[in-house]
Amino acid sequence: MPGPEIPALPRGFLRKGEDAATTVYLRPLGAPDRFQQCEVLIRRPGGALTVRCAKDDVLDWARTEGEALANHISVLIERLAVPRPPFAGLALDRPLIMGIINVTPDSFSDGGETPDTATAVARGRAMAVAGADILDVGGESTRPGSRPVSADEELARVVPVVRALAGAGHTVTIDSRRAQVMEAALDAGAVAVNDVTALSGDERSLTLVADRGVPVILMHMQGAPQTMQDDPHYDHAVLDIYDELGRRVETCLAAGISRAAIAIDPGIGFGKTVAHNAEVLGRLSLLHGHGCAVALGVSRKSFIAALAQGEPVSDRVAGSLAAALHAVAQGVHIVRVHDVAETRQAFDVWQAIEARGSPVE
């Protein structure tokens, strides 16, 4: 019996004046820097057409569709092929592990485990010994339904921890959506900012990061932590998230932040259903089209329980590792985790196998 019909790349689909950059998307199949096969996603009312084909075929098709599309596809392929420069002083030639240090009483997974400076610093040092490349310090929970804390409280929680860990020579980032906290943490030794609002939650944060010349992780979030899980909705989740992150990247570039200093994070669990999360994770490599480093946080999140028969938070390590390995296989550069030793072992094994693999003749 013949197999299912494979969609062909459509001819003449762009209407006059339509923007190819927000209509056609390219996802590499395989390592982003050396892919030969790809998936073309074409946004249409009510959904998207997806076509898998050879990279050369996409180029030939784009040229027949006009200069705008040909230029757009050429830019995407060039961004995919260019190796990412170091981020926060760390080479991106292997996946980096970012250890989570929540100096909070109410974070979804580890709230209350590091309630004071001494405990948090000890946790950070242990993570570094276990293999963390980056230590991400936060003082305000952004779990679904969480409430903001005052700036003074957040500062009191994070600044001493940042100062101690940075002073010991560790690479430290500050997880905050407040410019005041970002600034104090940078002064205390943090080398980059990780912001769940993608520098949109505080009118000073964009200028601060640009003026200080520090790297930033821009995360996608639909809504605010208090209400983001009430009824998240997208026309096409992965494409909507791609476009919104692209707009934030362009805003940062216009403010003077270089593309090399930007990492993007699709924000798994932040204003997304289980189905949305699975869709985004299934097409993570699409995000490389922005030419930035890609970061991801999946550790112990509730979608793992939804996909794995309701495992409690403490029993989600295996699911977290499965999602993390899937991510690095799609070229994700930075993975934010609670369980550093287990993730380091998984990455080391994955890298050893990848290094010894070769195409079957």
Tell me the pLDDT tens digit for each residue of 114-173: 678 999 999 999 999 999 999 999 999 876 666 778 999 999 999 999 999 999 999 999
Structure tokens at 177: 């959506």
Over its C-alpha atoms, the chain yields an Rg (Å, rounded) of 21
Determine whether 301 is an active site residue. Answer: yes
pLDDT for the residue numbered 4: 42
**Tens-digit pLDDT profile for residues 25-65:** 999 998 888 899 999 999 887 778 999 999 999 999 999 98
pLDDT for the residue numbered 304: 92
Closest CA to 170 of 116, 133, 131: 133
Q: Per-block average pLDDT, block size 10, for the chain (361 residues)?
A: 57 74 90 90 85 93 91 95 95 97 68 75 97 96 74 95 98 97 98 97 97 98 73 89 97 98 96 93 96 96 86 88 96 97 97 75 41
pLDDT for the residue numbered 44: 80
pLDDT for the residue numbered 338: 95
Domains of the chain, each with CATH number or no CATH: 20-81 (no CATH), 96-356 (3.20.20.20)
pLDDT for the residue numbered 33: 81
Own/partner pairs for 186-190, CB < 8 Å, 24+ apart?
186/212, 186/214, 188/159, 188/162, 188/163, 189/162, 189/163, 189/165, 190/137, 190/162, 190/166
Determine whether 16 is an active site residue. Answer: no
- Residues with Cβ < 8 Å from 322, sequence gap 6 or more? none
pLDDT for the residue numbered 15: 67
Q: In terms of DSSP bridges, do strands 47-54 and 37-44 run parallel, antiparallel, or are they unpaired?
A: antiparallel
pLDDT for the residue numbered 7: 64
Q: What's this model's pTM, rounded to 2 decimal places?
A: 0.92
- DSSP category for residue 108: T
Choosing from 157, 177, 301, 316, the catalytic residue is 301
Burial of 334 (0-12, 13-18, 19+ CB in 10 A): buried
Whether 123 contacts 101, CB under 8 Å: yes
pLDDT for the residue numbered 8: 78
